[in-house]
Structure 1
Amino acid sequence: MKLKESSLDFYAFINIFRDDIENSFIKKIYQVNSKEFIFQIYRSDVKKRDFFISLTKGISFYSADRPDEASQLAMIFRKQLSEKRITGIEQINFDRVIKITLHTGQEIILELFGGGNLILTENGKIVFAMDQHVYRTRTIKIGEAYVPPSLINPIENFDVFKKIVNESTASLVKTLATRVNLGGEIAEEVLYRLNMDKNLMPHQMDDKILNQVYEEINVILKESLENRAYYYKDEEILSPIILKSLKRNPDDTFENFNDGIVSYLNNYPVEEKNKSSVEKRIESQKKSIEEFKKLMEIYTEFGNKLKMNIPSIEKLIKIVNGKVKNGDLNGFDYGDLKILGINPAKKIFTIDYNNINIDLNYTLSAGNNISNVFNTAKDYKNKIEGAERAIEETKKLIIKEREKVNQKKRPRYWFETYRWFFSSNGNMVLSGKDAKTNEKLVKKHMEDNDIYVHADLYGAPSTVIKNDGIEISEETINEACQFAICMSRAWPAGISSGTAYWVYPNQVSKTPESGEFISKGSWVIRGKRNYVFNLPLELKISLIKYKEYDIPMISPSSTRVESEKWVKIRPGNEKRNNAVEKISKILDVPRDEIEPILPPGGSVIIETSREIKELG
């Protein structure tokens, strides 16, 4: 993707995360802007998630800023879709079109190409469309049957693929990019891996060559399902596969495709994102310059025309004066000039010249009117020069804005897939965010010398203390236990203290007792559990230096952290969004750095580094 997901991106996302989406209920719907929405979905095992839909960028699990009040369109969607269960999500014909099926039989169609469209259907008929349009091959209008833009899946089987390529009059790379829906980057990648000339024409290929191409496409499709993301900074590309055609390693790798998308959306260069107010100002200034140039040319041309016909203009002024005396203020034609009307209050008459209304004063001579016309042309010339100077000043502001963005821009690290912190002794502590990451954390990252921690509550996250050459102390165990209870349902319940326990990795098993079942993300603990009691539910968000970047870290309040900026929180009634806003301002970091690390539920700020300094 290049801030606009491709068919391969949609293929990867839907197949990787289908299990997370299906059987979820749509709770609330928010309209972020005219083209972007958040569908808040809920399922008991994955809790609430923000399913982000951008009609111009794509789909992801992404917590965009929500408006304070629901828009009228969001309210309509809530009425139509809230509490409906998602029974299926699929990509239509390997195109940039997504279909979400609800248990009621309703369908949400996302057409994620061009300006994008969001369509609702019942029994196959369109009941709502953001953009109603009549195309050459289909009609998107209320009451019409929904017909997708592509009626066949170009990669469904070899025969279909072969037919599409053979019927194309374009080069192979263009055919793969457009008619097979691969997009330019992946089309070139396929041919690079096969060492084929991208300008090869369909008539130059036999079935053997075509089969090689088709097989390579399927290899790439399979690779895209590995749930990884690769970022290439110079090309500004995020891909679900390694792009061998770029002939270098990716600048960043994400172990979760969605994490890559979120990082990409947050850090994409400012000039390609939704334009800032400063950039919009430049666009407005450029449009003004174009308009001023047009008007300057028209007034100059009209002035020259009057200058060449002074006697005729003097006669016209006399005619207008006569009409004013007679009370005839209507328009009339005078040679090739069209007089639109006379305004005695302003002592002017208006001429239509090249669809521009130009006023002349009937109390002045032809010479004075001509001077006024040329002066108006000069005024527009001065406005052009002023707007050009303003653009240069505005460009300086853009440079400052980009510098500010680049200062905050940073890569996302692998451990940010989980909840995490560094203990007082330097051990990394990792905790799952949901059933999927609980499973992955233990299976992939827990080793023999580590320690497993769990709050003494059902459904709490699995927590692992890493022993990466640093001996695990009692202090670190206590901090990890406190972290585990804080990240559990104890926090939204408003409990002030809780209990957790720790065990060794060999006590953690996926094998249930006879007749029992172990769900995804859950584990069986055998043997002695080492309990830690009276753990306070209190956390600290500190700004720490990791590699070359300042990043916020949330940890137990007792954790010793070298940081000039920090905030302490405990469970409270402050809404999550409000807490995020306050903490981001205190630490001077973007909201999207804070929102993902906070525990579930409400929080209240109890102490900050700023307050300590002020008191001191």
Structure 2
Amino acid sequence: MDQKRELSSIDLAALVTELRAYEGAKVDKAYLYDDSLVRLRMRDFDRGRVELLIEVGDPKRLHAADPETVPDAPGRPPNFAMMLRNRISGADFAGIEQYEYDRIVTLRFERPDGVTLVIAELFGDGNVIVCNADYEIIDCLDTVRLSSRTVVPGAQYEYPQSRFDPLTTSEEAFHRQMEGSDTDIVRTLATQLNFGGLWAEELCSRADIEKTKPIADADDSEYAALFRVLTELRSALADGAFEPRVYYEDDSPVDVTPIALREYEALETDRFDSFNEALDSYFLELNEAETATSTESDRPDFEAEIEKFERIIEQQQGAIEDFEAEANEERRKAELLYERYGLVDEVLSAIQNARADDIPWETIRERFEEGTERDIPAAEAVQSVDGSKGTVTLDLEEATVTLDTTIGVEKNADQLYQEAKRIEEKREGALEAIEETREQLAAVKQRRETWGESADADEETTEETTPEQWLSEPSIPVRRDEKWYERFRWFHTSDGFLVIGGRNADQNEELVKKYMESGDLFFHTQAHGAPATILKATGPSEAAKDVEIPEQSREEAAQFAVSYSSIWKDGHYSGDVYMATPDQVTKTPESGEFIEKGSFVIRGERTYYRDTAVGVSIGITCEPQTRVIGGPSDPIETQTVTNIELEPGRYAQNDIAKLIYREFRDRFEDEAFVRKVASPDLIQEFCPAGGSRIHEE
């Protein structure tokens, strides 16, 4: 059987119940790994260190983890992690909620200076959104622009449209939902009641009901048995009465559940004290197994992807059918109002007249009960009266309709027609979504075919892969070896020399004091606010020696210095840069003068590069390592399989980084590869401070 890779709505309901016990813990720090895994390190008075993991890629999960097994902290934190730290470090973990029956969890953090909401969307492509107390989006891992909803910084966060919630439904609504189906019992539970295949089969097993029995042949006793089992499940989820299990097949973990399942009685199992512990163990084993497998074969699991998309299409088709049924039901209710116009108008008029005379709602309800005893048709149709909402619910034989008592029959009917229209719009959105999913499925199948052809070709030839081949490659393996200089600004010149520059005053100081050696060259602009730039003659572990550095490398280092200075930020296209040797650079000022942090005194004659043009390109390399790099255009163009040239413009660093990311994603066949090696945060590290735009040829 397939291994579980996503938490279900029932899993999240159980998880939220357990994680509420952690309320009151204080946040220490936030981390981000590979643009899909967020780690929140917290301290709890009773438990000590608490690690909360939120992963929204593949797999999708959320749980507390064993502090001894969490991944090591990554290098320099990306912007998203820094933003999270600024907003929630020192905050109290104040609450956690699941949104209705959806795979969305909202974590609340409180600090004296405000409230921060971290929303984890564990469905579709997955996302983590950070909002203020008013649900205004501060930042998100991925922006979303759909006809139904938009998720971008600055926008108001809106939860997706609600769907049927079996964990809160009444027995009457449960019966109606079941009876409205035209398939069998298990499929109705799986799709129209949103339980999914596994829990639908489990409910049938626990209720001792034949799974494949057609709905047309089912009766109220079977619905009652199913609802009884559902009620038991609800109570267990609410009370935390769990029996967490991890299930194994052929010694491999295949599923993890908060409650022991009859459907898995034949599988090997491990028991745990809490669902969090079970989740942590399961996903840790899953990751270890995949890491071992990836060393054996780099072939993507196309079959799993295909099965995933086919499963999504099946679910989307079920949603479309549900929308059609709901819209038809709302229209039928509106038609019934007109068919029973006299009766409905009599009820509404009676309530309106009574309220005009200040008669209490309880008295109105009692009068309808008295009318029922006297066999008055209008009173007999009244099922209930809700004074708190100002509504009355009528049984019109074919359907039960809840009406607004402050308006007439026509306006109530119009509201039902409008609701039908709204549901039909959701159906149109679902139709668009299913077409997109079908396109994704077709693309995966095409990649599977192309992979077979490219694998055969690889065996036949050892020729160097061209940029065009890399761009069309369906799956590019990630090869990464982090270097000591990557926390600074850096690039390699056309002649292979390393150039490094400081990102701030502290790094300027560190570069000059720790990394500048005899034989290196120092570059700086005449303008204030520029990186201390060093053209390295040798590596930090090599002995300093005199090396003849070509003029082209010197010019490229000068262009690097001017491009990452305030000259770019001010919107200028060129500036003056000077070059000096290490023995000319000192922190000792003249008598009576003061040197700011990150600044230096240059003594002796300098070499100037006048009117040096600004210019930055950002590109992606695929061999020998896969990474995003940036710097002067000439060397970057020759070192990458594709690149994008920038010039001063109107887009802020984070905005231009996202534009570049989208462009790279469009250029590469393997979008997952782009997400891993050239995320917006990684791209932004190579973008100059201030505004930029993509250079048009």
TM-score between the two structures when normalised by the length of structure 1: 0.43
TM-score between the two structures when normalised by the length of structure 2: 0.38
